[in-house]
Chains A and B, each alone.
Chain A
Amino acid sequence: MVELKNVDVHYKEGGVDALNDVNLKIYDGEFVFIVGSSGAGKSTLLKLLTREKVPTSGRVFVNGYNLSGLRSGKIPIFRRSIGMIFQDFRLIPNLTVYENVAFVLRVTDRSSRYIRQRVPYVLNLVRLNEKARAYPTQLSGGEQQRVAIARAFASDPGLIIADEPTGNIDPELSYEIVELLKDINKCGTTVIMVTHEHDLVKYFGGRIINLKKGSVDFDDYIGGSNEGQ
């Protein structure tokens, strides 16, 4: 579960209030879209959830970890409980598709045998088995993002945080990427997806959190236009 209690984030540089008294609960197994214009506080919120930042005041809980008081030595352990997907994919360029996905498992000290079984399985989920030996630069944007999704899902995390995962790919492939995330969500993984593509949000529907000037402006469920398809 993800919970923010009375969270304020204030940047000393420029005296900006990035988040103001944010209270939020996201339950296990939910799929949530976070939307908002530039400067609304989306990036700051994600940085809080991945413990890149600590709030100026208030408390942040993710997967049972109190991130406000988390010691630096425990941060890697916490991060293994989440999967991250970035707009710019962030694949390691000198590793093959297989190695990029396996890397997360090596970090968590999984056995070679487990890695040999798990990596082909997740690559199969994102339909990239045949590209296992390719390097990221040999793939299209959509394929690279699918590798990033496979990597995020490889360690079977309880929560996947996707930061504008469709921002750098063709619009028609965006739907495919969200479909993949929806499939992962159906397996029980909580998914938080930050996006500014309103068409996607309207199409898929579900729980929408709209941030405006550092505060939660809207938090409710909407019906998607794909329902019934």
Chain B
Amino acid sequence: MKGSNFSYLVKQGVVSVWHNRMMSFASFCILMVSLLFICLAVLFSLDIGIIIGNIEDTNQIIVFVEKETPEPELAHIRDVLDSFDYTASVDYITPDKAWEMMQDEFNESIAGVFDAIDEHMMPHTFTVSLNDITKTAEAAERFRIINYVEKVNTPFDFVNFLISIRTTFTVIGIAILIALVAVCIVIIYNTARTSVFARRTHISIMKHVGATNAFIRFPFFIEGMFIGVIAGAVSWYLTKITYESVVTLFASDIMLLDVLGINNIIGFYEINWLVLGANCLAGAFLGAVGTVFSMGKHLKV
């Protein structure tokens, strides 16, 4: 194809957007809404993963060791705890430190109670964080049989709850994404088919004067891509506004910030260009492919 014809076809594709403005607008709206939903679904499911991860990180197994345990044994116990395959970190809390922490945790109104308690009653304590909370039960069993270990505390119910939440979110998230993408493709294909049907005479004329299928498809391809890129850019802007509004709404709740670690979720500014690029690319791809594939029947002249 000659360069002048190439630029002519590109120009025709862009000009067609205006000539067929009603169908272009319909395609634009469908693409834009689809990309907005997909983008928000992806971002929020990633955030839910991060929030669950934050909660998992703060979820620890507490291993109490007898008060009279000799120093070398404490080091050995630490080594054993550390050697477990799924141990992420082990922290040792001395009895004195544990005493201080307990005092800090309780209200000043009951401070007098501590005068009656022996400050040397606190055991040696290890807090163990795991990098896979599904191994909590296995870890607890392993830690319980270590010499001098008095008690192992595990928040089993909470762990099980977290595991079930994460599984549910993963399954629901993937199902919603697949459904959204499938619905998008069907709607875009049908919108493009309607748009192409409206110009079937145009296509038939092209076929009669000897245009190849590639020559006929090219302006439609450019048109679909052009609409897709604009829809991608607009959906990026709407995603930004919606996402930041939702995050601001949740971030205003201090408790949620602390408990769920919402301050660790994805900041839109970090992925601004990535989202813009991905939206424009996805829009261009869906717009162009949808238009080109919907032309098949009309090219058989």
Contacts and interface: CB of A to CB of B under 8 A. Distances in A.
Given A79-B210, A90-B208, A109 B1 contact: yes
Interface stretch (B73-81, B90-98, B199-207, B275-283): B199-207
B209 A104 contact: yes
Interface residues of A, number: 22
Nearest to B4: A112
B8 A50 contact: no
Given A90-B201, A94-B19, A109 B2 contact: yes
Contact of B208 (A79, A111, A155): A79
Contacts of B211: 76, 107
Interface string B65-92: 0000000000000000000000000000
B212 interface: yes
Contacts of B201: 90
B210 to A, nearest CB: 4
A84 B208 contact: yes
Contacts of A91: 205
Interface string B186-208: 00000000000000011011111
B4 A80 contact: no
A76, A79, A91, A94: which has the most chain B beta carbons within 10 Å?
A76
Interface in A67-121: 76-80, 84, 90-92, 94, 103-104, 106-109, 111-112
B2, B16, B205, B209: which has the most chain A beta carbons within 10 Å?
B209
Interface string B289-301: 0000000000001
B5 interface: yes
Interface size class of B (residues with CB under 8 A): 20 to 34
A79 B213 CA distance: 13
Given A92-B202, A106-B5, A112-B4, A52 B212 contact: no
B1 A50 contact: no
A84 B2 contact: no
A146 interface: no
B215 interface: yes
A151 interface: yes
A192 B266 CA distance: 71
Contact of A106 (B8, B19, B204, B207): B8
B202, B205, B301: which has the most chain A beta carbons within 10 Å?
B205
A209 B206 CA distance: 29
Contacts of A84: 208-209
Contacts of B301: 52
B209 A103 contact: yes
B210 A80 contact: yes
B211 to A, nearest CB: 4
Given A52-B301, A90-B201, A92-B202, A108 B210 contact: yes
A76 B210 contact: yes
Interface in B6-35: 8, 15-16, 19
B205 A107 contact: no
A92 B5 contact: no
A104 B211 CA distance: 8
A77 B209 contact: no
A99 to B, nearest CB: 9
A108 B212 CA distance: 9
Interface of A: 50, 52, 76-80, 84, 90-92, 94, 103-104, 106-109, 111-112, 151, 155
Which 8 pairs, one residue from A and one from B, show the smallest C-beta to C-beta distance?
A80-B210, A79-B210, A112-B4, A107-B211, A76-B212, A94-B19, A76-B210, A104-B209
28 contacts: A52-B301, A76-B211, A76-B213, A79-B210, A80-B209, A84-B209, A90-B201, A90-B204, A91-B205, A92-B202, A92-B205, A94-B15, A94-B16, A94-B19, A103-B209, A104-B209, A104-B210, A106-B5, A106-B8, A107-B209, A107-B211, A109-B1, A109-B2, A111-B2, A111-B4, A112-B2, A112-B4, A151-B209
Given A107-B212, A107-B215, 14 more contacts: A50-B208, A52-B301, A76-B207, A76-B213, A78-B210, A79-B208, A84-B208, A84-B209, A94-B15, A104-B209, A107-B209, A107-B210, A109-B2, A109-B5
